[in-house]
Structures are given as structure tokens and as C-alpha cells.
Structure 1
Amino acid sequence: MDLFLDILLDTTTDTVKLIPFLFLTYLAMEYLENKAGEKTVDMLLNAGKKGPVIGGILGVFPQCGFSAAAANLYSGGVITVGTLLAVFLSTSDEMLPILISERAKAETVVIILGAKIVVGVAAGILADMVVRIVGSSKKRELHIHEMCEREHCHCEEGSILRSAFSHSIEIIGFIFLISLLLNIAVEFIGMEELVSTVSRYPVFSIFVAGLIGLIPNCAASVTITKLYLEGVLSVGCMFAGLLACAGIGLLVLFRTNRDWKKNAMILASLYGVSVAGGIIAQILF
């Protein structure tokens, strides 16, 4: 019973931290949909190569809600898939606090953060280039209103504050439920034991580390970072796992964006780039 209460408390605490990010994101989206001028909207929709660069740099900061905010902005048509991918790859989740608390060398921290930014920006720019080539005739548009219609929130009947609050509460409930189930599963599976066992198989472990990193739970980034610092995981496993750690962003993406084919492609791209990055890091270091 005590264990369950601890899990419940941890899940509640982590979820509450997301509320400001989600509320401000939805507030900005509602403003764009209802108040912002056409020039402002066009500027955001046509940010071009700047989007992945900005996303890659901002994503590296330890903000648990940033990947969730990016997922919402992508689902609403505000940012490109490249910008979203850059954020997912560069986001540090709980990695940076663990590195600092464990007194990792400053050089190690800088290399890891720098590598995540470079990989995120490069992959994001490449993804946007592919999208422009494949669908060059299609003009991107905001489709925030479509999200409102799917959720039956009746946003048009109230203020943008009410709409933002309504969306935030709805998505927070979803995140809390899934996170609680994931935390229970992680507790009983034993994340550290699982990762330690896999690390005995050098090449295979990079692919598995990437899969573990995809788990939308802070336990993944915490475990991978700690085991790397303890010498249990190789540099390749560490990079593969931490590049794939998009935090709660993947949960929000699959909840808010109904184009499952695009979601699957983003997930596959995130995993593929993470594994490739891990293999390259293993060879170089």
C-alpha cells in the first residue's frame, strides 16, 4: 500500500508540473486561432530552417513540459514536423539534473548536450526538407479549430482563457492516467535491472536502449544517465537512450494528433535517428 501511495504521489507531482506549460501553450494556440493577425500566423507557419534550430536549442533545457508543448503546437499546425523532431531529440528530460547531482565532469555534460542539439537540429532540418520535397504544393495551415471539434470542448462559446483551461484539464487527465500505469509497470519490472541485463550485449544493447528511451516516463532518462555514469552502460547505449527520451511529448502527440501514420513516422524517425546516433557515438568514442 505504501508503495502504491508513493507511486501515486510521484505521478501527481510530475503531472502538476506540466500544467503551466500546457495552459500557456493552449492559451497561445487559442490566441493565434482567434486574435493574431494573418502576418503573425504566416510568420510562424513559414519559419523554415529556423524552426528546428530554435527547437533543438530550447529543447535541451530540463523542462519536462517543453516536449509536451511542442507536440501540441505540432498537432495544431503551428510548428513543422522538423521542429518537433528537433525538440524530441534534444530534450533532456531528467538527464541534466542527474548529471549535475552526480557531479559529472563539465566536459561530459557539454559534449552530451552539444551532441543532442546537433543531432536534433540536423534531423529536424532534414525532416523538413523531405516534407517540402514530397509535399511542396501543400501550404501549411493552422488547424487548432479541428482539435477543438474532436474534443467537443465548445471553445467558440467562451473566452480563450476558458478554452485553454478546458484543453489543459482534458490532456492532464489523460497524462496522469497513462503515467500512473507506466510508473506502476516500471516499479514492478525494475528499470535498472532490465537495462543492466541488456548492457551485457554491446551491439544489441544500443537498439534496446533506444526502445527504453521511448518510454514516456522520467525513469528512462534517470536510469540511463545513472548507469552510464556508473560505467554500466557504454557511450553508444547512453546516446541512443537519451536521444530517444522525448519525455511526455510522445504521449501528448498520440493523444492530440489523429494522423496515426504521421505519428508512427515521427516515432520511427525518433528511434532510427537515436539508434544511428548511438552507433556513431560508440564508434567515435
Structure 2
Amino acid sequence: MSSILDSVNLRTQMVGQNRLELLLFGLETSQRYGINVFKVREVLQCPELTEVPRKTSVIKGMAHIRGETIPVLDLSEAIGRSPVPAEDERRCFLIVAEYNKRTLAFLVRKVDRILNTNWDQIMAPPAEIGSDNYLTAVFEFEKKLIEIIDVEQILADIYPASTDVSDDIATEKVKKAAHELHVLICDDSQVARNQMQRSLENLGVKVTSAKNGREAWLMLKDMAGKGVDVEQYYLMLISDIEMPEMDGYTLTSMIRNDTRMQRMHIILHTSLSGGFNVSMVKKVGADGFLAKFNPDELASVVVKRIEAVSKR
């Protein structure tokens, strides 16, 4: 199974080109799902799991992998489908991935292939299905829809995160300086947008949100076309990297190539882990990288920007 990740080394060449690699996998039906290869550390046959006391049956146990003890989540049960029976676990696979500073293993029935595609081929789920689902994107492949699961929503359900900002960061002085400032946030996950908005509103800043890079880009381009000084209107842009239609790297590159907004302050805020992102931030011209999700760390980045603007 390790051979399925042989092409991972090529992924650095796709940064800033609105391209991605998806690892396709299956659960209990013929429906296929996708996860960004960037987030995948390895894929392996499910070993024997160690049971642990737990509040939710979604966590099947712990796997001991290369000296680490990693929690195993049944992805079928996490999205409301039938759980994997205990007797079938050893015939399943683990996708070991890194999300929001956590290393997790997702229990899946089968692993298919790695698919190289473009973010502009990835679409947001139809609005008609409502917001009560675990989908963050869909795309068509071989005349069938591949679904990309909103893992951040799953993790928020299992490991609820506080959005409160510490008082020593959200001081009265900061709030006074922030009340007329405006931050643009961009993320395809509704739970991520809500988390960021609640945290930033603790500082007193105004928040506008976009669901993907394309929506943010069209918003900024429209404002600039109407004569709005985008660099002055927004204190900063805080954008996810992985998004349907246009990713955060491409959004950053397009802003940097537009003289009307090229000095806009941009922070890439993502669940993608690792030092790789730091070098990619420099490559596309972003001002910084921040791993999800810690409200104090997010607020501190904004406070630093508020202080820089106040000194002008």
C-alpha cells in the first residue's frame, strides 16, 4: 500500500497552480471519497487496535504505528453511516493524516488511487442539500461524483474547540483600536468560518467571510473595480489553503499580481501541517502561515497587525 503514495514527492510542483492530488477511498458503499494527499502521512492495513475508555463510539481505539499511539476514527460512523463491525476492522485500512496539529487515523473500507486534478474542477456542495451534512466539496470523475468530507466539522464534533480569546490578548486597548478595522476571512468549511469569526469578534474587529478563493477574489476585484482601496479597507486577509474552485495559494498569487491590492496583508491559516507550508508561503508571497485552530494564536496574529497599522 505504500506504493500508492509514491507520487507525493511531485506535489510541491503544483503549488500556486491551483492543482491538487486526492487520495480516493471508500467506506461501506460504492460511493468514493477524497482526501488531499498533503494531509496524508501514510496508508496501511489496519493493525490490531487497543481499546480505550471513550465518550463516543466513533473512536474505535488506538493504533501503535512507528512508535506513536494514534487515535483511530471510524469515518463511516463519524458521518452518520453504519460503523465498521469489530470483526471487519483488520480487513480495513488506516489513512494516517494530520489535521489541526493532531495526528489521526481514519478507518476506511478500501483505498483506491491518487488522482491529480485542478481545484477549479472541485465544486462546493449544492445548496439544496442544506448545511446539515459533512461535505465540503464534490467533483465529477468517471461520470460519478466524488465527495470530499469536511473533516474539520467531524473533529469539531468529537473534539469541541473553544473560540474564546484570552483577556490579556483581547484587551480594552486592542478593542478600542480594532472597532473600525475590517478582516476578510476565507474558508470552505462552515465550522472553520464560524470559529474564526467568533474569535475575531472578541477583538472587536468587523469580519467578512468568503466560502472559497474564487469568491474572495471576485469580491476583492469587484471592490477594486469600483475604486475602493482594498489595501486600506481590509486590515488583512486570513485564508485557508484547501478550497474548491480556487485554493489559497492561487488566491494569494492573484492578489500579489494585481497592482490595486498587491500589498494586502495575507495570512494562510490551514489544517495542513508541516514545515512544507512555510516555504510555500514564501513562494506565493503570503505574509505568514498559521496552523488551525487556536483562538489565541489567531487573535495574536491579528493584534500584531493592528499594532503595526496603529503605528503608522
1 or 2 for the larger relative contact order (CA 8 Å, sep ≥6)?
1
TM class by shorter-chain length?
0.3 to 0.5
Normalized against structure 1, the TM-score is what? 0.33
Decide which structure has greater strand share: 2
TM-score by length of 2: 0.31
Q: Which structure shows the higher helix fraction?
A: 1
